[in-house]
Structure 1
Amino acid sequence: MLKGTKLYSILFNKCPRCQEGDFFVSQSAYNLKQFDKMHEQCSHCKLRYSPEPGFFTGALYVSYAYYVAFIISSFVLCYTILDINLDYYLIGLIPSLIALTPFFFRLARRTWINFFVDYRPALAKDNTKAPAKTTESQVLQ
């Protein structure tokens, strides 16, 4: 249902261009030895996931936005709707932010690359149309 959208690639750890190959090596964000390990390129369409050094520096801003959204939504839920004491909310907030760090790290990277890479349905259907090697100019097209 979602296949073909950027949301599919972001939520299901898939390549943004063909949505077939996996983006991260491990499916779980909580495999702490490999939570940050990415494939060099897509196994299906050969898209290089890191087109230049420092490409994912912008993902820090996306990660920050996810943290802010989580903090605001949890505050609204806990303090205003559930009427939980602010002290208890703040005590529970810090461990939850630490626990969500690997999840937000991976989510931010997948979101960031989806800003620059568009889905190509032709590559999803037929692997023979994918170029064997991807040049710098082809990476973000």
Structure 2
Amino acid sequence: MFKKGSKLYSIFTGTCPKCHEESMFKNKNPYILSEALSMHEKCSNCGTKYKIEPSFFYGSMYVSYPVGIAFASAAFIIAFFVFKASLITVFISIVATLIICLPIILRLSRNIWINFFMSYDKSLAKK
């Protein structure tokens, strides 16, 4: 399921959706905020252009909402049901989770968005 060749592999590793060989992002660390969304123009392995059209990644905003909800839900479940925290503590944990995980949410959203439009091509992968 998470093996090379699957969309989940590309989404969670941030690799090229066509060949799964190169990271789409210039810096693999999402917490260097000045470079969090800085992407290569195209894949150096297969030549796939990441920005299919101008403003292509604006669509990832639609994906970031449910991804953020998933992170917030996980924070709620852990804080409320596992740690039996009060509602104010649960609220603070949700907000803190969303702030801390924002760079990851943004990158995941971009990865999911581009994988809607591109699929893995085994012939482009390095041997």
TM-score by length of 2: 0.92
1:77 — aligned with what? 78
Assess if the C-alpha contact under 8 Å between 2:76 and 2:93 holds in 1. Answer: no
2:49 — aligned with what? 48
Count, aligned residues: 126
Partner Cα separation in structure 1 for residue 69 and residue 89 of structure 2: 19
1:131 — aligned with what? none
Structure of higher CA gyration radius: 1
Runs of 4+ in 1 over 2 A off after TM superposition: none
1:116 — aligned with what? 117
Assess if the C-alpha contact under 8 Å between 2:25 and 2:38 holds in 1. Answer: yes
Unaligned regions of 5+ residues in structure 2, if any? none
Question: 2:97 is matched by which residue type in structure 1?
Answer: S
TM-score by length of 1: 0.83
Q: Deviations over 1:79-127 (max 9, x none)?
A: 133311111111222222111111110111011100110100001036x
Confirm whether residue 3 of structure 1 aligns to residue 4 of structure 2: yes
Assess if the C-alpha contact under 8 Å between 2:59 and 2:113 holds in 1. Answer: yes
1:89 — aligned with what? 90
